[in-house]
A and B are shown apart, each in its own frame.
Chain A
Amino acid sequence: MISDVIVEDKERAFLFCNEAIVRGALESDVKVVAFYPGSPVSEILDTFFQISEKFGIKMEIATNEKVALEIVAGASMGGQRSLTAMKSVGLNVASDTFFSLGYTGINKGCVLVFADDPFCHSSQSEEDGRFFAENSYIPMLEPTDPVEAKAMVKKAFDLSEEYHTLILIRTTTRINHQSTIVPLEPLNRSDFKPQSFRSFNKKYSTVGVRARELKLEMLKRREKIRDEFENSEFNNVIEGTSKIGIITSGVSYNYVLEVKNKLKINPPILKLGTTYPLPEKLVQNFIKELKAVIIIEELSPYLERNVKTFAKDVNPELKIYGKQSDHFSEAFEYNVPIVYNALRDIFQIERGKDYNAILKNANQLKSILPTRIPVFCPGCPHRATFWAFQNAIGGKSSNIAFINDIGCYSMLLLNKEIYSKLHPDDLLLAMGATLGTGSGISLASEEKVISIIGDSTFFHAGLPGIVNICNNDENILVIILDNSVTAMTGQQPNPGTGYGPGNAPKNKIKIEEVLNGIGFNNIFINDCFDAKNAITSFKKAISQSGPTVIISRGPCALWNDRNKRKRGEKIQPYFVDQQICRKCHTCMRDFYCPAISMEDKETEYVDENGKEWRGFSSHISSELCDGCGVCSILCPYTNHEARSERDVIRILNKPREVRHDL
């Protein structure tokens, strides 16, 4: 809770890891922060969003991670402590600047928290970001839980200032999305004082001859830091009695501790918290008397390869168990059962828990369950957009190549059966990639290319691609889904929203003005909730040749609901009048709204011409309905404009109850 992140008179609090990271930065007197949101670190941004003003912290929600990193690096060079956080694929975006910073170094403490996402909970790849550290010579710390995450943030600021280098803190989803009791220390905040960049008299340029000098300095810096890490409080050895030891880091350490108790084994354990540069001597001392060592780390065999190298000098006979011995996988997350099964095998323990049998039994019971895939929320503008778009293309979906991108609309892919006309699983790579790949497909193939992109993604990584499309006069229709915020990550504002941290007003960048400036001649703007007119507009746009953009505009439902609540406005749900519903199922067949389901009992309606309509009518949940009204537009038996008692889908005269705790 925010109140515990900023509390002054408590010694401990129950904190979410991303909150603990913010607390660590507050206790370190951080002065400048910048972020682009991304799961699993979005809540670091969200927490600073609420408190930055109170603590005199300068905060920006940057257009992308590269800009965010540049902001905090520049702020550090300008004399202020600074921090950014991003997801692993965000560090890919920032990597150009990131590698140069390894060479130039920084001035005041500068910390980059980045989170890998084993199991791809909310990412497009399972990449292992630890190689960024090795490749950039930038030191890296890896916490095992929120307590250590906070301690590492504080240490990272000190190390950063001592060695004039950016410091990485690498987490994974299971670390970020964990809560526990965290010890608090005093905040000791100082007032913000502007510094003089010139007075520091430091140079941060790297190219050619200067880069070569810096490379040699960087190598020296690494060895100094390696010496320091040999004695770091974040590496610890648990003594043991067996000749088989364990080396681990991150969340896997927690699994090891739990399995050790369960199997009643007593191996020596080396937990590494400084994973670049690795403390070579510490590792060598740990392994030199062992017969075997087990390396437990998620994703790539990063520690494993390094330990193998370190063992050569001190214990060439050492047996190494890990991924290369097939005891652990390079894919997905670990958990207690995975570590338990591997250690039981290596330690040759016959009796034990059969976790696989538990799973097997459960899976048999669960065979009756339907899947529950994330879908667009009730009231989501994207549902309306894709209803209209599917109608506009009619049966001609084989003539188009539909290209997906990163955002809430990526969920089209998860629901590919429902949106089968669009083939939304054909192509989805990375933020903004819909535009470049769209250009490539239009060069290579005969289909009409439709590229979709959200407003935040457009500003984040879409600008170079859209300029390229216009510049090369590509025959592409770009649909910009403008819901006003960065919805997927928790509805943070973006350059098109008009406000920033602490809800302070910001210059609002209008997408159509950007496109006009670039030179687009074909620009259509749709109100996506005006769904019937949107069909006409889509049809017209599809028939254009040359670069064309449709901006499909309508606010994110979650964000809009929250704003309505703040303004004291009621949400008016719709209902289905079952007395006159014709049971045609249009509202369910084509719209896929979680608020609409089918009645279990059959009913009958006889209309004024004596025609009988028998079947299962639809039902709108008044708790879930957001009142967007699009289902009433697409109902063939409702005249949306007339709003009469003869309409099947009408507004319910009772406002929706809204959760107070969300």
Chain B
Amino acid sequence: MTYNIMTCGVGGQGLMLLSNIIGLACAENNLNIRTAETHGLAQRSGSIYTHIRIGDDAFSPLIPYGEADALLGMEAIETLRYIEFLKPNGIIILNNYIWHPVQSTYERVKNPQGKYLNIESIINKLNKYSNHLFLINALDIAIEAGNSLTTNVVLLGALIHTKDFPLSFNQLEETLPRVVPKSALDVNKKALFLGYKSIE
């Protein structure tokens, strides 16, 4: 059995921390894991992704199309961009957030009445691919946890609830001290917990 998670977002959203937490938790709990990450050019406000594969049959670092159990999107446009990796009817954890690329603003300057793509249109498309979409107001929850920058950890908390996810809340929580500074530990723990509670 392999559990595949595709995570995506925009450079600077803290995607790397997510795969690090999951990777460390797997190492501590004797689970096999393989990830493939984007580094370099794509970081500059560009589209980024991480393939995360947990289990003994995962040889390829990349998830084959249509085989991700879950798609975790930090940003709506980028979530739809990687939809082919998700299983039909797989789980989508979507941050209720859209970040318009500069190219879209450039188009709007040419035609100010033309609107940006809105999140509802994206959700509409995602729903055509899967009816297991969870829309999370991660920013609100992160602020409730005490720091608006913990949206990534909030979404990770939500992921724990999904069917067959191989790591428990406690296993993930125990790795937090290794990846976040001491001063930010309590806030991150709370963010993980509130995210976990968000889709009960």
Contact = CB atoms under 8 A, between A and B. Distances in A.
Interface of A: 1, 3, 12-14, 16, 39-40, 42-43, 121-122, 145, 174, 177-181, 251, 254-255, 257-258, 261, 335-337, 340, 353, 355, 358-359, 361-363, 365-366, 368-378, 408, 411, 415, 417-418, 488-489, 585, 588-589, 592-594, 596-598, 600, 615-616, 623, 657-662
Contact of B17 (A373, A377, A596, A661): A661
14 contacts: A40-B40, A179-B33, A181-B33, A254-B59, A254-B61, A261-B57, A335-B64, A363-B84, A372-B45, A372-B77, A375-B101, A378-B45, A488-B41, A661-B14
Interface string B32-49: 111111111111111100
Nearest to A144: B59
A191 B17 CA distance: 35
A593 B102 contact: yes
Interface string B91-128: 00000000011111111110010011100011001101
Given A368-B121, A615-B112, A660-B149, 18 more contacts: A39-B40, A174-B61, A178-B34, A179-B23, A258-B64, A261-B57, A337-B64, A337-B65, A365-B128, A366-B80, A368-B122, A370-B101, A370-B117, A372-B77, A373-B46, A489-B40, A598-B109, A662-B16
A175 B146 CA distance: 38
A662 B32 contact: no
Contact of B103 (A121, A181, A373): A373
Nearest to B34: A180
B13 to A, nearest CB: 9
Contacts of B65: 337, 355, 358-359, 362
Contacts of A623: 148
Interface string B53-89: 0000111111011100000000001101101100000
B117 A369 contact: yes
Interface in B1-42: 10-12, 14, 16-17, 19-20, 23-24, 26-27, 32-42
A369 B8 CA distance: 15
Contacts of A657: 147-149
Nearest to A254: B59
Interface residues of B toward A: which range?
35 or more
Contacts of B129: 361-362, 365
Given A335-B62, A375-B102, A588 B109 contact: yes
A408 B77 contact: no
Interface in B155-194: 178-181, 183-184
Contact of A371 (B14, B101, B108, B183): B101
B78 A179 contact: no
A257 B64 CA distance: 13
Given A145-B34, A174-B62, A178-B34, A374 B42 contact: yes
B144 to A, nearest CB: 15
Contact of B41 (A13, A43, A372, A374): A374
B53 to A, nearest CB: 9
Contacts of A373: 46, 101, 103
Given A659-B14, A660-B149, A122 B34 contact: no
A365 B81 CA distance: 9
